[in-house]
Amino acid sequence: MTDSDPVRRARDVLARFGVRSKVTVAGLRAIYEAPFKELKGIVKSTDTLVNISRALGKSDAYVHAYRLVLAVDDVERDGHTCVAMVDLRKRTSGILSVAAFDSGLAMAQRLDELLLEDDFVYKTSTWAQERSIVKEILRLARDFGPRGLERPKVARLLDAVHTDATMDDFGLTPQQSDAVRMVFGNPVSVLTGFAGTGKTTTVKCIKTIADRMGYVTRLAAPTGAAAKRIRELFDPCAACSGSGSSNGADTSCTCACTVHKLLDAAVDKSGRFMFRRHRGNPISAHLVVVDESSMLDLALTARLLLALPVGARIVFIGDPCQLPSVMAGKVLKDMAACLPHVALTQVMRQARDSDILAFAHRVRAGGLATGGTPVARDFSWEPLEDVGDIIQRVHELVEEWRGEDEDEDGSEGCSFQVLCPARRPGAHGLSTTDLNPLLQRTVNRANREAHHKTAAAAKRKPCRMVPGDRVMYTKNADGLLNGDTGHVTQVVWVPGKGRWDVEVQYEASLRWHDGADVNLDLAWAVTVHKSQGNQYDRVLLVMHPGHARLLSRELLYTAVTRAKSRLVMLAAERCVSACVATGVERFTRLGESLHACVSPLFFE
């Protein structure tokens, strides 16, 4: 067999099965070696993948191995990081005999795809991330040095914060003071609190004390919007106040930023994120404060811990009732259960006046009173179920709010956000994909008509986006993060390419996109998942029984707590009850590992 044989064979087989993506010679060689691995993102049908593998001469054990890999992929899509072997056997009993399962599992381990630990089956990559988190926390704990040396100093500074007239908005509760002492006394700690329990005040106090101790503190959050919120709590850093900009774009800037920026993420040649901060080139900080940590997944947490210097402290802050990370796992909850942890439970005075927060706390506690809430000061619930009724009401409310916005400040545009559980259009006809074009027609009518007129005059199909549209980028690429939002500033026809290009003003940069880029969405309506890390003045939440599969307590709580001053919920009573009755359950073994290896070091 010559060198070119595998390439030719792979090309022939792909052609035979109608796989039409462009593949390089190196790609064909890789497909010949590992057809399942290389094609599983491209070929959707498992049967076709099996047939391609067989046509390329792969063994039965190889095919069984990848049936198991796909089954574990499903387990991860449900949020679990691993599965008990007996359960995996049950899940796959319809397609694999006992012998096929055993040979497949052995092969999957040889191929380094799956890993078996204590009768639990993991994807090797996921296991390695969990392992890395445990290992790095262990390292930080060992390197931390003797505890308690700074205790008197922190106590003095805490007293000063309490009595300092210039900081009278602090007025820490005993729980908040405990949190501050915990952060300075431990290499890794966790601070959790529900909405309105004063996490932000605690962060301010931690930063103030750290400054007075001469510490370099870096504040970060998983999304751009969440990072911006923290950035606005503090004066700009020296680099920013010198340049006059405070949007985190400057590389020497030490203002609050995304975790990706803190890790100095860059894109490598294959378009993948790489991090220039790691063990050999750590973040330069004495203290790292990560907010909105409920959104952190295993991979990013592992990378962050890996990039902390010797002797540093890190505190993970988050709301444990929000939706967990998009990827499998529940890092914040697992860490909270096994590491030094303070839970803020006391609802602050200002927050007690909010009906939005009162409702959020009822959702969280699972104790929803019967019937709809009467129209209250800042929260109302209209129990609509018919999609037509819901859409009509969305239009009415949006028109009303738009009018109010124009009265107040015509230049600022619309300060509301429509939230919906689903992105993909379903039979219900109520997804962000359905709602966005409708909202564009209402909210951005004049620009839409102008663009459509221009397009019609030139006999072209109009672009999905028109100037003034709110848009969201949904991929980590080109220096943008999944979830970054911006405004369309112009839409221009590019004759050479025969397409519309769209210019978008993001917070820190101005970008051009292909108007047909599938990663650029209209964002008048966004999913609850994508709204995490953001807060909006007014939120219009729509839910439908057709969303049943997506509804959970965490989803409703997250949606409700996005609203700052006004929340309207359009949802049938049975949708809301379904949310309240369903908690997100995820199985992981991170807590167990932390408990066994790390906890003794913290709690001796």
Which residues make up the interface to Zn ion (CB under 5 A)?
237, 240, 253, 255
- Identity of the residue, 10 or 219, whose beta carbon is nearer to Zn ion in the bound complex: 219
Per the CB < 8 A criterion, the answer to whether 521 and 436 are in contact is yes
Question: Where is 162: in which H helix or E strand?
Answer: helix 151-163
- Identity of the residue, 223 or 301, whose beta carbon is nearer to Zn ion in the bound complex: 223
Least Å distance, CB 215 to Zn ion, is 17
> Exposed, middle or buried, 487 (CB in 10 Å: 0-12/13-18/19+)?
middle
Least Å distance, CB 469 to Zn ion, is 29
- Identity of the residue, 509 or 565, whose beta carbon is nearer to Zn ion in the bound complex: 509
Least Å distance, CB 248 to Zn ion, is 6
- Identity of the residue, 243 or 577, whose beta carbon is nearer to Zn ion in the bound complex: 243
Over its C-alpha atoms, the chain yields an Rg (Å, rounded) of 26
Please give the Cα distance from 542 to 450 (Å, whole number).
30
Least Å distance, CB 229 to Zn ion, is 15
Please give the Cα distance from 449 to 457 (Å, whole number).
12
- Identity of the residue, 240 or 539, whose beta carbon is nearer to Zn ion in the bound complex: 240
- Identity of the residue, 249 or 601, whose beta carbon is nearer to Zn ion in the bound complex: 249
Residues with Cβ within 8 Å of 79's Cβ and at least 6 positions away in sequence, in order, are 324, 328, 329, 330, 584, 585, 586
Least Å distance, CB 288 to Zn ion, is 16
Q: What are the beta bridge partners of residue 343? A: 192
Torsion of CA 574, 575, 577, 578, to 10 degrees: 110
Least Å distance, CB 237 to Zn ion, is 3
Helices 151-163 and 174-185 cross at an angle (nearest 10°) of 150
- Identity of the residue, 209 or 240, whose beta carbon is nearer to Zn ion in the bound complex: 240
- For the chain, the 3-state helix, strand and coil shares in percent, each to the nearest 5, are 45, 15, 35
Least Å distance, CB 233 to Zn ion, is 13
Tokens encoding 227: 């990072």
The region, left, alpha or beta by phi > 0 then psi within -120 to 50, assigned to residue 24 is beta
- Identity of the residue, 255 or 481, whose beta carbon is nearer to Zn ion in the bound complex: 255
Please give the Cα distance from 487 to 320 (Å, whole number).
32
- Identity of the residue, 46 or 247, whose beta carbon is nearer to Zn ion in the bound complex: 247
Least Å distance, CB 49 to Zn ion, is 49
DSSP 30: H
Least Å distance, CB 287 to Zn ion, is 17
- Identity of the residue, 240 or 598, whose beta carbon is nearer to Zn ion in the bound complex: 240
Please state the φ and ψ torsions of residue 17, each to the nearest 5 degrees: -95, 10
- Identity of the residue, 238 or 596, whose beta carbon is nearer to Zn ion in the bound complex: 238
Please state the φ and ψ torsions of residue 196, each to the nearest 5 degrees: 85, 10
How many other CB atoms are there within 10 angstroms of residue 67's CB atom? 20
Say how many residues make up the chain: 604
> Exposed, middle or buried, 17 (CB in 10 Å: 0-12/13-18/19+)?
middle
- Identity of the residue, 123 or 218, whose beta carbon is nearer to Zn ion in the bound complex: 218
Q: Give Cα separations from 362 to 166, 368, 543, 581 (angstroms).
A: 36, 6, 18, 12
Least Å distance, CB 239 to Zn ion, is 5
Least Å distance, CB 240 to Zn ion, is 3
How many other CB atoms are there within 10 angstroms of residue 523's CB atom? 24
- Identity of the residue, 237 or 572, whose beta carbon is nearer to Zn ion in the bound complex: 237
Bridge-based pairing of strands 341-344 and 188-193 is: parallel
Helices 445-457 and 432-443 cross at an angle (nearest 10°) of 90
User: For residue 310, how far is the Cα from the chain centroid?
Assistant: 28
Least Å distance, CB 264 to Zn ion, is 15
Least Å distance, CB 217 to Zn ion, is 13
